[in-house]
Structure 1
Amino acid sequence: MTMTSPLAAHGGTRVLNLQPPHYKWPAVTPDLDEAVRAQLHRSLSDRDSSGVIGEFESAFARFVGTPYAVSFASGTAAIHAMSRIAGLQPGDAILAPAYTFFATASPFAHDGIEVRFADADHYGNVTAATLAEKLTSAVRAVIVTHMWGNPCPMDEIVEFCRAHGLLLLEDCSHAHFATSRGRRVGTFGDMAVFSTNQKAITTGEGGVLVTSNDRYREMALLYGHYNKRCLKEIDPAAEYYPYAFTGMGLKHRITTLGAAIGVHQLDHATDTERRRRAILARYTAALAENPVIAPAVVPEAEGEHGLYVLGLRFNPENASVSRDEFVALCQAEGASEVDVPGSTRDISSEPLFARRDPFAPWTPTTPSFTGMPGVTGFADTFVKLPLWGYEGDEPFVAGYLDALAKVSAAVAR
């Protein structure tokens, strides 16, 4: 690759001079604005599923391809409900990815469940092999995250869980449009959770638990929606029906305005997927011969990308600068959304995960570090940027490609 002009960081002209923000989601179109305004006048608080909350859940279940969906105020709240529904308690352990956003695992630690962290593969995901390395007799369940939209190798993970009698839980927060070998993520496990906080399908803030098990659906209501809805929807013969009036002591119901945004998002999901897949394909083709930066996307034979963000893999052996210097050079060119994740990283040494008693004093203890070479190899080379996918995004899509090409040409060995 040859440099065509000096880098902006070295006195050259910036590739992009576009006003921020360079990415904003959801795209606030006139029809989305009208949908929120209409809900404002329809209802600000639904006490059951007869209104927009029920409409959102039904639409989300159809979107994923599961019989049931229960909405929550956040993905974290939904994962906490999933933990309680699974029956995990102190003394039990769950296998989880070491490389993930902390909310994949923090609700379990909150309740005193031991979280045993597994290493990552070339895409930041756990595999059956990395999970097996951490298996003990205390392990009752596995939770996987389809990191940055790349599906985990689910066939082998399903077989691993069956062989060891483990519940399988999925965190699909990054992977709304992902499939693993032709099957939609979120349908492999006993339960799955999708965050809808600024994700490819968003409600602004929120989360959804999906399952094919009606018992799990009813119990999810007890941890999020209680009272009128539970009295109406839970089987009176169920042993937990006496809790329908009070629920299990918490309320994590999504807002009606959030649900209205979600319904609108799902109505336009086909267009969102089409646009984002086209941008993903464009970047994949444009960067195919780039020796410095390449898409970190699973091969088509393994599955379809979930379209949350575009993940890139920096190749340090082919560059005269470090990964962080490369990112800084791109940002100096005006591509401010080229980014290294901060909140998503190796969480295995966080003090929360050393706690076993949820009522113990908050005196931090650092867990023993066992080393995660796969996580380190992935995290130290990972870069991300938006996939956009809305009208008016072309200057950003093209401009960021130009910035990546310019910086890559300048630093390539």
Structure 2
Amino acid sequence: MTTTSVLAAHGGTKALDIPRPHYQWPAVTAELEQAVRAQLHRSLSDRDASGVIGEFEAAFARFVGAPHAVSFASGTSAIHAMSRIAGLRPGDAVIAPAYTFFATATPFAHDGIEVRFADADRYGNVTAATLAEKLTPAVRAVILTHMWGNPCPMDEIVQFCGTHNLLLLEDCSHAHFASWRGRRVGTFGDMAVFSTNQKAITTGEGGVLVTADDRYRELALLFGHYNKRCQKEIHPGAEYYPYAFTGMGLKHRITTLGAAIGVHQLDHAPDIETRRRTILTRYASGLADNPVITPAIVPETDGQHGLYVLGLRFNPANASVSRDEFVALCQAEGATEVDAPGSTRDISTEPLFARRDPFAPWVPRTPPATELPGVAAFADTFIKIPLWGYAGDAPLVDGYLDVLTKVSTAVAR
């Protein structure tokens, strides 16, 4: 046995020896630097949509295929806006994924709205059946996340929400390039939010709310933009126009430099998608016969992956090590971005979700645990790696595939 086939953790040679960092996004090109530099001389603060913020929103609306896009300082603030402009208040409930990044649900809890947590399918997503298990008379809305870029089964979820007269809210933070049966995610719900924090389309920090509803768009402006923009863009005959000067009392505007990065990214969206989809296909092919790990990607007959990261399903019955041991062995081989995520997990027992009074003392209580077998099965076997998408990424793409193959071969039963 040669040292190249012996695992590095056992004294062998690393399969990948490329200095860190292995993944940075966006790719900082001379063209991107020029776009940011030009914006520095154009404006550092826009008070309305006449500059780069408006340009970014228009480009994002075209990208998604939605009539309206309103930018925010973060995806979290955009989800908070969704909650407020939907009219949810203490006493109401929303059904959310138990397996997600916490910001999908925390803005609702911040305002004292009950969050009821739904189980997951084999892709980490909610379904109509898991949502139905959490339905009560207090539920007024559903928020779902297209986890790790895999679109949720939207046909059945749209029908479920329509049958029960529920608002449908989409968290598309992982799914910028995703679609379900030919229709882009973000266009199924009453409103949708995309995070642009280090996602496939990024502004550095930021978020975007998209909707087809004129009223929701104007209320979104009131929530985060206020004053000059609201006075210019909200119809003077609207019942809420008297609030245009002050808005709802908060400002959550994206920065102009972030918007300039976003415009540049959207200009290159076809190239980003092509490169990332090529890499996704390479991994799907390269791992097709791997008994230890398989790509967790929805069938193409149902939907297109959103190209945030590549999710992998670890098959413990076929391995002599645990999922976490497998990750550690890959990292020892030099593939430091192989990861079992900790921030994205079952959030249903976090103390914040036991609060019903947003002004109560911050004394933690743990919500009652519920049975979530789908979440446990998914979270305990999930691994992720980056989906690169820029010139010169081939050594990393190939190197990570070599590491995954080497470690899988060594630990396969």
1:371 shift after superposition:
1.6
> Is the CA contact 2:53–2:259 (under 8 Å) kept in the aligned structure 1?
yes
Match of 1:324 in 2: 324
* Whole-angstrom CA distance in 1 between matches of 2:74 and 2:280: 27
What root-mean-square deviation, in Å, do the aligned CA atoms of Structure 1 and Structure 2 show?
Answer: 0.9
How much has 1:153 moved relative to structure 2? 0.1
Structure 2 equivalent of residue 306 of structure 1: 306
2:97 maps to 97
Cα separation, partners in 2 of 1:324 and 1:3, compared to 1, 3 Å: farther
Provide the rounded CA distance (Å) in 2 between the counterparts of 1:404 and 1:330.
7
CA–CA separation in structure 2 for the residues paired with 1:353 and 1:303: 32
**Contact 1:223–1:248 under 8 Å retained in 2:** yes
Partner of 2:160: 160
Counterpart Cα distance in 1 of 2:266 and 2:331: 33
Give the whole-Å Cα distance in 2 for the aligned partners of 1:5 and 1:71.
Answer: 50
Equivalence map 1:401-412=2 (5 Å) = 401-412=401-412
Deviations 1:357-401 (A, max 9, x none): 000000000000012100000000000000001011011000000
Which residues of 2 match residues 382-397 of structure 1 at below 5 A?
382-397=382-397
Please give the alpha-carbon distance, in whole angstroms, between the structure 2 residues aligned to 1:367 and 1:36. Answer: 45
Give the aligned partner of residue 12 of structure 1: 12
Structure 1, residues 24-59: CA drift from partner, whole Å, max 9, x if none?
000000000000000000000000000000000000
CA, structure 1 residues 174+3, in 2 after alignment: closer, same or farther (shift >3 Å)? farther
Preserved contact between residue 3 and residue 406 of structure 1 (Cα < 8 Å):
no
8 Å contact from structure 1 (residues 148, 306) kept in 2: yes
Match of 2:34 in 1: 34
Secondary structure of the 2:383 match is: strand
The answer to whether the 8 Å contact 2:95/2:134 transfers is yes
CA contact (8 A) 2:39 2:256 kept: yes
Aligned residue in 1 for 2:245: 245
SS, match of residue 69 in structure 1: strand
2:84 is paired with a residue of what secondary structure? helix
Do residues 340 (structure 1) and 331 (structure 2) align? no
Cα deviation for residue 163 of structure 1 reads 0.2
In structure 2, give the amino acid aligned to 1:132: A
Aligned-pair CA distance for 1:4:
6.3
**Correspondence for 1:50:** 50
Distance 2:208 2:42 in 1: 22
Partner of 1:192, secondary structure, is strand
**Structure 2 segments unaligned to the other structure (5+ residues):** none
Partner of 2:88: 88
2: distance between equivalents of 1:3 and 1:186? Answer: 49
* Cα-to-partner distance string for 1:67-105 (whole Å, 9 max, x where unaligned): 000000000000000000100000000000000000000
The one-letter code matched in structure 1 to 2:60 is F
Matched, 1:216 2:244: no
> Is 1:178 equivalent to 2:178 in the alignment?
yes
Q: Could you tell me whether the CA contact under 8 Å between 1:4 and 1:406 is conserved in 2?
A: no
Distance in 1, Cα, partners of 2:357 & 2:93: 13
Question: What TM-score does the superposition give when structure 1 sets the normalisation length?
Answer: 0.99
Name the CA distance, whole Å, in 2 between partners of 1:251 and 1:231.
15
Query: Is residue 2:282 matched to residue 1:265?
Result: no
Task: Tell me, in whole angstroms, the C-alpha distance in 1 between the residues paired with 2:361 and 2:302.
Answer: 46
- In structure 1, stretches of 5+ residues that fail to align are none
CA distance in structure 2 between the partners assigned to 1:5 and 1:190 by the alignment: 53
Residues 85-138 of structure 1, C-alpha deviations (whole Å, 9 max, x = no match):
100000000000000000000000000000000000000000000000000000
* Residues 72 and 78, structure 2, Cα contact 8 Å, conserved in 1: yes
Contact preservation (8 Å) 2:4, 2:14? no
C-alpha distance after superposition, 1:214-258 (max 9, x if no partner): 100000000110000000000000000000000000000000000
Structure 1 residue matching 2:370: 3-state secondary structure: coil
Describe how 1:46-195 pairs up with structure 2 within 5 A.
46-195=46-195
3-state SS, counterpart of residue 117 of structure 1? strand
* Displaced runs of 4 or more, over 2 A: none
Q: Is the 8 A contact 1:150 1:175 kept in 2?
A: yes
State the 1:302 CA deviation. 1.1
SS in 1 for 2:31: helix
Q: Tell me how far 1:3 sits from its aligned partner.
A: 10
Q: Which residue of 2 aligns with 1:279?
A: 279
Q: Which amino acid aligns with 1:90?
A: P
CA contact under 8 A between 1:79 and 1:107: conserved in structure 2? yes
For residues 404 and 342 of structure 2, what CA distance do their matches in structure 1 show?
21
CA distance in 2, matches of 1:99, 1:247: 33
- Greater mean deviation of Cα atoms: 3-12 or 186-195: 3-12
| Shift of residue 5, structure 1, vs aligned partner | 1.2
Secondary structure at 2:208 match in 1: strand
**Amino-acid identity (%):** 82
CA distance in 1, matches of 2:399, 2:4: 15
1:297 aligns with 2:318: no
Q: Alignment partner of 1:151: what SS?
A: coil
**SS of residue in 1 equivalent to 2:274:** helix
Amino acid of the structure 1 residue aligned with 2:217:
R
Distance of 1:89 and 1:163 partners within structure 2 = 22
Q: How many residues align?
A: 412
1:398 aligns with 2:390: no
Q: Distance in 1 between matches of 2:5 and 2:98?
A: 41
